[in-house]
Amino acid sequence: MTRSYPVRVRPRTDGDLVPDVLGMRLAHRAMLRDANRLPDLAERLAAGTCDARRADAVARYVRDFADSVHHHHSVEDEVLWPVLAASAGPHVDLTELSDDHAALDPALARLRTTADAFRARPGEDTATALAVELADLRDTLTEHIGDEEASVFPVIERYVSVADWAAVKARIRKRAKLSFEAPRVLAVATDAERAAIEADGGPALRVLLAVLVPPFRRRERAVFGV
């Protein structure tokens, strides 16, 4: 049964333009990229050596990743789900996805604690513990995102109006940490997708990306060593 989310919308009708879910798709892609490469990084660190400076960089990145995942599912619960439920009514059931979100918070809290322990005492045992937490999160996110895209994207495209979708995206952007999110999204976009993003954002977005991407790339090199 779909939970009640009181919100005013103008649902999409046949013949209306279809909302573009590219931004959400890229956010998922960026999340899964980190979800897959971070456990591998922690396993390499457990098998080798890691000085205090890199351990700090890794822990900070893991914390930002955990915060990004929390931000993503929180804005879905608080911003997107109300619009989706009000637009689609009985054609969507968000209960299972919301329950998944609630279960993620304790996992993210454990991940932050484990990252802090690794930063305080980098070594094989703390890196191994970090790898285990990251691998568990990877598996959870992979399943959850697959379920979400299969069940939610078609409903957005069928029932949510372009105007309501634009309002959802604007509210989500206001709450995002763009210095972390924007370069990661750009990294997983194809040339055509990047062109679409830049066309949508205009010159202001291109300037913002030019400012944000270089320091983020330096940060990645400090964390991943590439």
pLDDT for res 6:
59
71/28 Cα distance (integer angstroms) = 12
First to last CA, the chain: 47
pLDDT for res 1:
37
pLDDT for res 3:
46
Q: Which structural domains are found in the chain, ordered by start?
A: 21-224 (1.20.120.520)
The pLDDT > 70 percentage for the chain reads: 97
Local confidence band at 56 (pLDDT 50, 70, 90 cut-offs): very high
48/22 Cα distance (integer angstroms) = 39
Q: Is the whole model's pTM more than 0.75, yes or no?
A: yes
Average pLDDT along the chain: 94
pLDDT in tens, 67-93: 999 999 999 999 999 999 999 999 999
Burial of 187 (0-12, 13-18, 19+ CB in 10 A): middle
Local confidence band at 201 (pLDDT 50, 70, 90 cut-offs): confident
54/96 Cα distance (integer angstroms) = 38
pLDDT greater than 80 at residue 2: no
Biggest CA-to-CA distance, the chain: 59
Three-state secondary structure of 104-131: HHHHHHHHHHHHHHHHHCCCHHHHHHHH
pLDDT greater than 60 at residue 7: yes
Question: In this structure, what token pair is assigned to residue 211?
Answer: 């400012």
pLDDT greater than 50 at residue 122: yes
pLDDT for res 173:
87
pLDDT for res 59:
98
135 vs 225 pLDDT, higher one? 135
Residue 128: count of CB within 10 angstroms of its CB:
16
Q: What is the DSSP string of the chain?
A: -PPP---------TTSPPP--HHHHHHHHHHHHHHHHHHHHHHHHHHS---HHHHHHHHHHHHHHHHHHHHHHHHIIIIIHHHHHHHHGGG---HHHHHHHHHHHHHHHHHHHHHHHHHHS-SHHHHHHHHHHHHHHHHHHHHHHHHHHHHHHHHHHHHS-HHHHHHHHHHHHHHS-HHHHHHHHHHH--HHHHHHHHHHHHHHHHHHHHHHHHHHHHHHHHHH--
pLDDT in tens, 136-192: 999 999 999 999 999 999 999 999 999 999 999 999 988 899 999 999 999 999 999
Question: In this structure, what token pair is assigned to residue 107?
Answer: 């996992």
The pLDDT > 90 percentage for the chain reads: 88
pLDDT greater than 70 at residue 208: yes
